[in-house]
Amino acid sequence: MSTKNFIEGIKILQKYMEDLENHNIYCEHDVFYFDKTDNPISNADLDKLVNLGWFQEDAEYEDHYTIFSYETSCGWTWYV
């Protein structure tokens, strides 16, 4: 995955946060995590996030994550 996809995803996710000062983003080895957003994400932005390689690791989905797998209670994951 490219750095551009990572940064673009962060920009999208930040639009749905109310308090960026107290929001966590962290990484573990080659995986970045972004806590759940404060507000639901629009379908258009969900489509962009999924196409950038972002997904919700804790959401329920079959073979691959889609915008229809979106759960407001789950955070976001991006693999390097």
Of the candidates 15, 56, 50, 51, the residue with the CA atom closest to the CA atom of residue 34: 56
4, pLDDT greater than 70: yes
Given a contact cutoff of 8 angstroms between Cβ atoms, the answer to whether 32 and 25 are in contact is yes
Of the candidates 34, 50, 52, 53, the residue with the CA atom closest to the CA atom of residue 42: 50
Task: Look at residue 1 in the predicted model and tell me its pLDDT.
Answer: 60
Task: Look at residue 69 in the predicted model and tell me its pLDDT.
Answer: 94
Average pLDDT estimate for 65-80: 93
What average pLDDT does the structure give for the chain? 91
pTM (predicted TM-score):
0.87
Task: Read off the pLDDT of residues 10-62 as tens digits, 9 standing for 90 and up.
Answer: 999 999 999 877 777 888 888 999 999 999 999 999 999 999 999 999 999 88
- What are the structural domain ranges in the chain? 3-79
